[in-house]
Structure 1
Amino acid sequence: MISSLGIFAAVWIVPGIEFSGPGWHIGIVALVFGLLNALLRPLLYLLTCPLVILTLGLFGLVINAVLLGLTSALADQIGISFFIDGFWPAFWGGLVISLITTILSFLAGDTRVQVVRVQPPQQ
């Protein structure tokens, strides 16, 4: 559900990302995007590890854009009209999706935040 809202926000905010069809198709796009992230992201990070380290992790945004573009291609193959018009809309769409899913996961309580208070030893 959270990924679907992130993709919906990207369609709404980023020019060059288009979706038309019933709303539940966004859920299928989110499912495909989630599966690609789970299966291909670790491999892509492993293969591009030097670039990720060199750019202090910012190359991860490029990986996210590639996965979003691949999601668009797969959605087209299964008959869902989710289109991305090039690399830059995919880049900005991946950034929007990442931000929205991170914020909503935090608000929903999916992300655990632990605060540790350390006291100095008593003398």
Structure 2
Amino acid sequence: WWCGQEGHASSLGCARHRLQQQHQRAVASVERERIRQKLEAMLATAKQEELDKLHEDSHVMQQRYCALPTSRRLEICAPAPHSVHPRLRKATALGSKRSSGRRIVRGVGRGGS
């Protein structure tokens, strides 16, 4: 529905979408590879403004899609979880060290009395 709207059909995002659909429909692996290479080349040669517009369009498209009554309960439309507090991020990072078998003990072995 997005690419059918005026001003969107010729966008990088819609060109990418058309190639992705062709890739899904392709049966022969040679054809799938040809389409994949075409898609990669298109994105590799895109101007920064086109890539920025692709990102912006993707965000707006999702917002408008999720505003439709039929889409509101879809997973893609679920509100983003709250960001993790920096202290919790640090604790999570330390947790990965703990799980590696190393034991972190604070205040032990630092010298002093």
**TM-score normalised by L of structure 2:** 0.32
Which structure has the larger Rg?
2
Normalized per residue, the structure richer in strand is 1
